[in-house]
Structure 1
Amino acid sequence: MGRILAIDYGKKRVGIAVTDPMQMIATRLTTVSSHEIWIFLKDYFAKESVEKVIVGYPMQMNNQPSEAVLYINPFLKKFQKDYPDMPLEQVDERFTSKMAFRTMIDAGLKKKDRQNKGTIDGVSATIILQSYLEQKNYIK
């Protein structure tokens, strides 16, 4: 069984989280610049067994895609072209940034650390992945 990799793709930064090989626990892996994501993915896929990639897809309250899809859709298209055999799922990422911020407060992170947008993106990816795992286990 391979890992599941979650991506919170942003215009400037990409938050990345990953499961353990048994797909039980989601852990924040890193945050990289958007222009470095392809190098990161190539290196990571060469080192680790990844079974599936989950990408947060921004939706509005009316269930329509948000304007952020203007830069996420090209990423998704290139990903599918570069990795045609890798299963890719899009999941609703509504409120994950707010949840990430709240999680950091609850964890006791100092204000300076909570203002680091890279940390927020990484925690958001972790929340996306953990929510996916919980939903997946619930459906079984």
Structure 2
Amino acid sequence: MRFCEKLREARTKAGLKQEELAKALGVSLRTITNYESGECYPRKRDIYHKLAELFHTEENYFLNEDEEFLLSAAEKYGAKGAKQAQALVDEVSGLFAGGNIADEDLDVMMKALQDAYWIAKEKNKKFTPKKYRKD
């Protein structure tokens, strides 16, 4: 179950309106609407903490692996990082959504990942001081 579904379910079970939840969390009604539609996630951990207190549950209830990754990206790299992390999660999830991958496609994918790895290593080489390089 995604964050948006968990939040909507918890709010309706508690008999709260979106406006009441927004006031309790100290955010706008639009923010709650965006949370419940799945358009965005809380950027700060204190929102998850307030939700856990409000609905008498553990903070981790509102987090799953993807949301933890997105939250970390947002805290470390801001809104742009969170957006890029969301795109990555969506793309990787889509990659495995249909079942098995054909052997030919798997080989192509592995080759592309290896190429990307070596390109990244080469680009990062110029930022490594010469005394630390293994040329």
| Bigger share in helix | 2
| Bigger share in strand | 1
Task: Specify the structure having the higher radius of gyration (Cα).
Answer: 2
TM-score using structure 2 length = 0.26
Q: Which has the higher contact order (CA 8 A, sep 6+)?
A: 1
